[in-house]
Amino acid sequence: MRTLICFSLLLLAGCSSMQTSLTRSGSISGKIAYPSETTPDMRICAVQDGGSLHTCTQAKAGDTQYRIDHLPPADYLVVAQLHEGDMRVGGHTYQVQCIRAPCPSHLKRVTVAPGAALAGIDINDFYAAMDDFPDLPVDEK
């Protein structure tokens, strides 16, 4: 009987921590503001700023929105990788004020708190290449 009670308590403890970890994950969503009539296929990743966590989603041609779920709490950079066309990378960026145009954009850090659902994290700039964008993880196809 004592063994059964101990086993039951361990099982309940494991289940409750599993549920907590699932409900504590967050999400990021936003628009894909590709500068053309239609968006091409692209992979959009939330890459942990200064860490090894990453989660990606695949956007199909014509998609204007994206969503990345199951993100552990952390600071992320949101980057897109395109497979065709002149522009090959995109990101959630902010404009920097400068004296002479063109003024550079920088990736904007997004903080995902436990259970947070962040909206309006738009992929708003696209480039042929950006040296200061993080390398994306290998495609998990």
Q: For residue 140, name the pLDDT band (cuts at 50, 70, 90).
A: low
Assigned CATH topology for domain 25-127: Immunoglobulin-like (2.60.40)
pTM confidence score: 0.78
CA 70/CA 131 separation, integer angstroms: 28
Task: Identify the weakest region by mean pLDDT among 5-9, 55-59, 79-83, 134-138.
Answer: 5-9
The pLDDT assigned to 86 comes to 74
Residue 107 tokens, joined: 């990736």
Quote helix, strand, coil % in the chain, to nearest 5. Answer: 15, 40, 45
Q: For residue 13, name the pLDDT band (cuts at 50, 70, 90).
A: very low
Mean pLDDT to the nearest integer, 60-69: 96
**pLDDT tens-digit map of 104-137:** 778 999 999 999 999 999 999 998 888 888 877 7
Kindly tell me if the per-residue pLDDT of 36 is higher than 50: yes
Are 28 and 71 contacting, i.e. CB atoms less than 8 angstroms apart? yes
CA 17/CA 13 separation, integer angstroms: 6
Q: Where are the domains of the chain?
A: 25-127
> In this structure, how many other beta carbons lie within 10 angstroms of the beta carbon of residue 91?
25
pLDDT above 70 covers a percentage of the chain that reads 82
**pLDDT tens-digit map of 43-53:** 999 999 988 89
